[in-house]
């Protein structure tokens, strides 16, 4: 009986105590964060394919190096890796546009299929859907105007829901710095959005 239970547990990715083994646990973790991580990466690198590459790269590095770490460490470690990859992508884009402008060219996006990229409609009311998209666009534009550290702190604390300690690990800074970056980000975002008539954020 115990042998059969043990086999069943192993097949379900559970160890003897019924807890997920690390392989199953990290799969659950990645499945839970992949969409949010992609959305954060997309805001940073502003290119769909690059954002996907960034997320995949962060996942691979996390599994390769930290799968055996306690699972509570995975979120800040993953986002630390992700933020590093996003910064790399931003640096490459900066260098690329400088090189292109030096030679008199402009960077252009690749051809994309708008139907494939059309988001799944969340609302029956197209006006609600358009309004939600516009709101997120306005927020993203305001985020881009923030200094990088404030943007990171806001993404990790607000969008991903990391606590101050986890955010400090992810950002490789002190908890005090996290609080400062975050509060300044909130203040500046509210100012910027209010300037453009976006008072509804405070409702």
Residues near another protein (CB under 8 A) are 23, 26-27, 30-31, 34-36, 38-39, 48, 52, 55-56, 59-64, 67, 80, 84, 116-122, 132-133, 135-136, 139, 158-159, 161, 172, 186, 189-190, 200-203
Provide, rounded to whole angstroms, the least separation between the CB of residue 99 and another protein: 23
- Contacts within 8 Å (CB) and 24+ apart, 9-15: none
Contacting residues for 118 by C-beta, under 8 A, at least 6 apart: none
Residue placing its CB nearer to another protein in the complex, 99 or 132 = 132
Provide, rounded to whole angstroms, the least separation between the CB of residue 96 and another protein: 20
Give the integer Cα–Cα distance in Å for 75 and 40: 14
Residue placing its CB nearer to another protein in the complex, 108 or 202 = 202
Q: What angle do CA 117, 83, 54 make, to 5 degrees?
A: 40
Provide, rounded to whole angstroms, the least separation between the CB of residue 2 and another protein: 27
Residue placing its CB nearer to another protein in the complex, 104 or 197 = 197
C-alpha dist (Å) from residue 77 to 66, 90, 91, 119, 174: 8, 20, 21, 30, 15
Provide, rounded to whole angstroms, the least separation between the CB of residue 64 and another protein: 5
Residue placing its CB nearer to another protein in the complex, 34 or 93 = 34
Largest Cα separation within the chain, whole Å, is 74
């Amino acid at each position: 009986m115990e042998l059969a239970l043990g086999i069943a547990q192993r097949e379900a990715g559970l160890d003897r105590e019924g807890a997920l083994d690390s392989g199953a646990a990290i799969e659950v973790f990645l499945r839970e964060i992949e969409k949010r991580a992609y959305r954060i990466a997309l805001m940073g690198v502003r290119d769909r394919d690059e954002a996907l590459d960034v997320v995949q790269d962060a996942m691979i590095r996390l599994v390769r190096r930290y799968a055996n770490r306690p699972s509570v460490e995975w979120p800040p470690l993953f986002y630390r890796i992700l933020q590093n990859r996003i910064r790399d992508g931003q640096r490459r884009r900066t260098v690329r546009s400088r090189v292109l402008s030096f030679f008199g060219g402009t960077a252009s996006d690749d051809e994309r299929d708008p139907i494939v990229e059309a988001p799944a409609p969340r609302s029956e009311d197209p006006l609600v859907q358009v309004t939600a998209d516009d709101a997120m666009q306005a927020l993203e534009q305001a985020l881009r105007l923030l200094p990088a550290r404030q943007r990171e702190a806001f993404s990790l604390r607000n969008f991903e829901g990391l606590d101050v300690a986890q955010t400090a690990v992810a950002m490789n800074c002190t908890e005090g710095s996290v609080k400062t970056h975050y509060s300044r980000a909130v203040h500046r975002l509210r100012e910027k959005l209010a300037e453009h008539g976006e008072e509804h954020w405070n409702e």
